[in-house]
Structure 1
Amino acid sequence: MSSTRSGLPPRERSHKKSTKKNSRKKKKKASGFKIFLRILLTLMIVSALGVGMYVGYLSVTLDQVIEETGTDEKVAPEQSAKVKPLTMLLLGTDYRPETKTHLTDVMMVIAMNPETKSATVVSLPRDTLLELKGYKANKLNHFYPNFLVQEKKTGITAKYEMKTMMSKYFDLNIDYVTVLNFQGFRDIVDSLGGVDINVDADMCYRDRADNTNINLKKGQQHLSGEEALGYVRYRKSNCSPRTKASDDFDRNRRQNEVLHALIDQAKSLDGVLGAGKVIQSVGKNMETDLESKQMKNIISAYWNISKENVAFVPVTGQWKNPYVYINATEFENAKQALKDELAGIRPNADDAEETEPAKAGN
């Protein structure tokens, strides 16, 4: 991938040169800084916070993960994340060893500005109907697995296809794309010793096919990785007594809630002790077109970012089975928020309040 970043990047081919180094990298990705889930910026923030507190061992661990996960492309000084605002598409897939599926249940576009030490994160509902010239209309979360199938015929990676499509959709050049799966989310939360969440409702759902067992009670809870995954994924109940169902907007809100909690947890003692495992968990469950050097630049630029400077902008809409028809005004405002972030324009406190979600189905 070119480091000049002028317009859309050149096509990224799925095959790699058959050098020993590249062969090793490919095997690492196949076997294996936010969710984790909907979720790289925050994860990199989490990892970076740990690095700042526990430099020695973590620096070595982080360097190893970065070298194995990032690409070996060069980064021109003027393209460094330390001096240039960047955008990233973050995909959280439902892949777990139990399912081996790749639906993108989390879809975020992140804009980062090194001068303001801030970021804006726009999230879209997974069931969003995407209608875009050149693409067959479909649910947003279906495109990535479809592109994965096409990789074998076209030789163009699904990551590149997603980045190209979402750049057109947002009318914004997206610099990078990162894919993180649900297994990584579970591992990250567990590496931090769990996460404290005020669960907003009773939740009960079981699925023997993939061993899902969500059984949460309303109130303050300390959740394990598996429980936190259930909390952000919960859609409907099949248990007795039945619990209230959730929609895409509830899940987006919960994901943002967990992300903020993870940042707090990373600053705790458990976070310090678990930071090495967090870094390794990210590396094992993440694929990205970020250059290794750029990953280090991002950590250097944003390691001390505060959660107050991470603005979450969820886009809502109206559910009409089987799609979510997103609110056009909210979407335009979200696109402008990303452009403002890149320009160094920060929202006023009143403007930063999240819009009350519209009613939606399951």
Structure 2
Amino acid sequence: MAKRRRRRSWSRTLLLIVFVSAAVYAGVHCLFRAPQVQAQDGQEETPVQEEETDPEAAAAAAALAAHTERKDNFYTILVSGVDDGNGGSDTNILVAVDAENGKIHGVSIPRDTKAVINGKNHKINFAYNSGGSELLAQTISEQLGIPVDFTVTVDLTGFIALVDAIGGVDFYVPIDMNYDDPIQNLSIHFSKGMQHLSGQEAMEVVRFRHNNDGTGYGSEDIGRMSTQQDFLMAVAEQTLTLSNVNKVGTFAQIFQQYVDTDLTLGNLAWLGKEAITMGSDGISFSILPGLWKSPYIYLDQEAVLTLVNESLNPYVEDRVMEDLNIPS
């Protein structure tokens, strides 16, 4: 289990690269299309008949319709990174794209978050191992009280290829990194300071947790997550200003080979166009708030509700505690 924990969150850098490169590719082919969100089960719009004879039923139907009325051009996308060779999802981040207001917010979901899956307590990552993106999205949706509209899954090789495709990334490595694991054939050696990282080097930096002698961030997970989010911002800033028209073919081959999603190429192109318009200033990140108590991370229900309403909620009305289903 310790070695599995060493696999680090890396796919958060992929979303904007996929969006932007898809925008370039699809723009050439005039394929820009805004995503179409399907009604959630039990939330189909049902017109209230004027001749409704039950006032209470009519009021309940109207209240439900108001509670599930969606904002314009607001989408939730679950991005999962797969790199363990066993079909497992090592990284999960729920991304809210608020194109109407020019904002993108990504929330990292710790893999040890407690969840009830198939009637039993598990770490939330079990959902992906058991039922792929569909079950994971369903589990997250039930906990947070909001729909997960789309999913994007990318593997380790795709991450490396995408970073290399944009020519690498200039990034300030926050601490000296010296770590070797011959079992995983992993060797990480970087000096603190500005570096130009290739795809493989970027993978090593975002996977780093501590040095061979135990030193490192001090608080391993918090420090590592901070580095990952800083790296993503560096990728966003550099990708959103790149002129990569001559790399269209390469980008297209990468997502066709390494990206699995229910978004169409036209959808990705539209999202990419919106991301370019927003720029890096419109992008922010956070971590789903909770407290570690072995063997799970228990979510802070009040803090989660605040985060949902401030950054993730695709509905016009705020969610209330009754909408959430977080195990205690």
TM-score by length of 2: 0.71
Residue of structure 1 equivalent to 2:98: 113
Deviation by residue 1:148-195 (Cα, 9 ceiling, x = unmatched): xxxxxxxxxx22212211110111011111111221111111111111
Task: Report if the CA contact (8 A) 1:46-1:263 is conserved.
Answer: no
- How far residue 294 of structure 1 moved from its aligned partner, in angstroms, is 2.9
In the alignment, does 2:21 pair up with 1:47? yes
In the alignment, does 2:126 pair up with 1:126? no
Identity %: 27
Q: Distance in 2 between matches of 1:344 and 1:184?
A: 38
> CA distance change for structure 1 residues 243 and 162 in 2, over 3 Å: closer, same or farther?
closer
> Aligned match of 1:290 in 263, 272, 280?
263
**Which AA in structure 2 matches 1:165?**
T
- How far residue 276 of structure 1 moved from its aligned partner, in angstroms, is 4.4
In the alignment, does 2:77 pair up with 1:93? no
> CA distance change for structure 1 residues 297 and 267 in 2, over 3 Å: closer, same or farther?
closer
Bigger relative contact order, structure 1 or 2 (CA pairs below 8 A, ≥6 apart): 2
- How far residue 293 of structure 1 moved from its aligned partner, in angstroms, is 4.1
Q: Distance in 2 between matches of 1:115 and 1:244?
A: 38
Q: Distance in 2 between matches of 1:281 and 1:182?
A: 12
Give the aligned length: 279
**Which AA in structure 2 matches 1:159?**
S
- How far residue 77 of structure 1 moved from its aligned partner, in angstroms, is 10
Residue of structure 2 equivalent to 1:140: 124
Residue of structure 2 equivalent to 1:254: 227
Q: Distance in 1 between matches of 2:268 and 2:284?
A: 21
Q: Distance in 2 between matches of 1:313 and 1:255?
A: 11
- How far residue 137 of structure 1 moved from its aligned partner, in angstroms, is 1.9
Alignment of 1:144-223 (within 5 A): 144-147=128-131, 158-223=132-197
Deviation by residue 1:13-58 (Cα, 9 ceiling, x = unmatched): xxxxxxxxxxxxxxxxxxxxxx861255422343257x2xxx79x8
SS in 2 for 1:127: coil
SS in 2 for 1:188: helix
Q: Distance in 1 between matches of 2:189 and 2:83?
A: 19
**Structure 1 gap segments, 5+ residues each:** 1-34, 67-73, 148-157, 346-362
SS in 2 for 1:172: coil
Q: Distance in 2 between matches of 1:269 and 1:166?
A: 34
Q: CA RMSD in A?
A: 3.6
191-200 vs 297-306, greater mean Cα deviation: 297-306
SS in 2 for 1:304: helix
Task: Report if the CA contact (8 A) 1:112-1:342 is conserved.
Answer: no
In the alignment, does 2:239 pair up with 1:266? yes
Q: Distance in 2 between matches of 1:261 and 1:254?
A: 10
Q: Distance in 2 between matches of 1:245 and 1:272?
A: 42
- How far residue 301 of structure 1 moved from its aligned partner, in angstroms, is 4.0
Q: Distance in 1 between matches of 2:178 and 2:191?
A: 9
Residue of structure 2 equivalent to 1:59: 28
Residue of structure 2 equivalent to 1:103: 88
Task: Report if the CA contact (8 A) 1:86-1:342 is conserved.
Answer: no
Residue of structure 1 equivalent to 2:67: none
**Which AA in structure 1 matches 2:171?**
I
SS in 2 for 1:115: coil
Task: Report if the CA contact (8 A) 1:124-1:314 is conserved.
Answer: yes
> CA distance change for structure 1 residues 91 and 75 in 2, over 3 Å: closer, same or farther?
closer
SS in 1 for 2:162: helix
- How far residue 240 of structure 1 moved from its aligned partner, in angstroms, is 5.4
- How far residue 115 of structure 1 moved from its aligned partner, in angstroms, is 1.7
Task: Report if the CA contact (8 A) 1:42-1:263 is conserved.
Answer: yes
